Chains A and B, each alone.
Chain A
């Protein structure tokens, strides 16, 4: 678990309750309107993540795409798939964004997908409606 994922530890007034853990199917976004913004929340084997439902490339609803691992850097004509990094894949141009950081996987662009804090407490899932703060340990 990264330092960013370790916080926060308490639900405060920034958070919206979005459902129970059991409401979520793995690697399938549920989309909510939070503070006027369309936000996708997804459960993965690495935990919960929340992202802005707008691809920074051309504005597609990214939560209509896929969640999973991706091809990692490898030798020519070698294709190594890994789930060490989980990405959201845009349904249009297939740009990939790291769920944990919002960074463009493979550094296709310096632009980032907005991510939001998620907190799981007593089997319930909460998402902060404003832009995620990046915490450093």
Chain B
């Protein structure tokens, strides 16, 4: 612990940022699954608490983070895990860094991926949604929730969207990424409901990638270490992008937005070029697409900044941002309170070209979430 006598405001000066910041990736957590008990049926309570199921999505026995995957300074006064106290997160992150609206992504939802009891998973996610609406969205209007739905049960996913779409604070649909291609038509009912309600569908690594049963596997073998796995997290993002484009999701749902959060950006420049080349070269399997893949990306896909690549010369990054039409496709994210979170004061100032800062920090997210951004 640090004895704070006095502190400066060294990291919080946002004098260069003259617009409201929308942070598209903030993680709320619960300290123990027992907080969900009031929202669960007796059957599922018995199932979860009888075996003390842990809401952890990365298998720490396989891939431990050497010093924890969370910020060392984000433990609140109640000593709960970082992200488990709405008031503390407000005081440590939202207020001092001038965040006007934040998208809450509860990645503990990913813990259901290997569950054999599909209905228990559905009920667990419904409980999780109601808990975060009650404890976070109702606590402060700067918290906006991406509600979690099961990737395995479209009937329940649609039902949850219908029930919660109009609840204040709900801003998106978070699908814990399972080893299921996201362009498959079996998922279309969820996309249809999301599009109808103007809810973007959001994907984000759950922690289960490459180590949890039924989570996406990583090509090339099981990673040995945390940094090895962390470096490969772009793989699921690439798979999602290719699948939703070539699966024709946006021909069926042209107003739908799919958000790829924390999968990176720079790789997308190469992917876009390759997808366009494949579309131009072949008319067989791809003839079903009505438009060039890049056009769907620019219209329907949104990427987020964190972890922003830090090449030796910032202009190297800026060239790639131009290739992905970042003025339309990229939104700011911090990943608070995870260990690799980005500082908005840096990301939205010197690390981006001046003409993109307002677009990435505010405008594109405002357009993507509409009134659901709460601004």
Contact = CB atoms under 8 A, between A and B. Distances in A.
Contact of A33 (B5, B341, B342): B5
B139 interface: no
Contacts of A91: 71-74
A111 to B, nearest CB: 12
Contact of A59 (B6, B11, B71): B11
B4 interface: yes
A67 B59 CA distance: 28
Contact of A60 (B1, B4, B8, B343): B343
Q: Nearest 4 CB-CB pairs, A to B?
A: A64-B73, A38-B8, A91-B72, A33-B6
Contact of A54 (B10, B73, B74): B10
Interface stretch (A24-32, A99-107, A116-124): A24-32
Contacts of A40: 2
A125 to B, nearest CB: 13
A93 interface: yes
B359 to A, nearest CB: 22
Nearest to B224: A77
Contacts of B61: none
A92 B10 contact: no
A11 B80 CA distance: 43
Interface string A41-81: 00000000000011000111101111000000000000000
Nearest to A36: B8
Q: For chain B, what secondary structure do more than half of its interface residues adopt (helix, strand, loop), or is it mixed?
A: loop
Interface string B1-33: 111111110110000000000000000000000
A79 B342 CA distance: 28
Contacts of B4: 31
Contacts of B51: none
Contacts of A53: 7-8, 10
B71 A89 contact: no
Contacts of B292: none
Given A28-B2, A30-B2, A92 B8 contact: no
A133 interface: no
A37 interface: yes
28 contacts: A28-B1, A29-B3, A30-B3, A30-B5, A31-B3, A31-B7, A32-B5, A37-B8, A37-B10, A38-B7, A40-B2, A53-B7, A54-B10, A58-B11, A58-B346, A59-B11, A59-B343, A59-B345, A60-B11, A61-B7, A61-B11, A61-B73, A64-B2, A89-B72, A91-B72, A92-B340, A92-B341, A93-B339
B67 interface: yes
Quick one: which of B8, B67, B71 has the most chain A CB within 10 A? Answer: B8
Interface in B324-375: 339-343, 345-346
A65 B8 contact: no
A14 interface: no
A58 B67 CA distance: 19
Contacts of B74: 91
A135 interface: no
A17 interface: no
Nearest to B337: A92
Contact of B10 (A32, A59, A64, A65): A59
Nearest to A58: B343
A44 B72 CA distance: 20
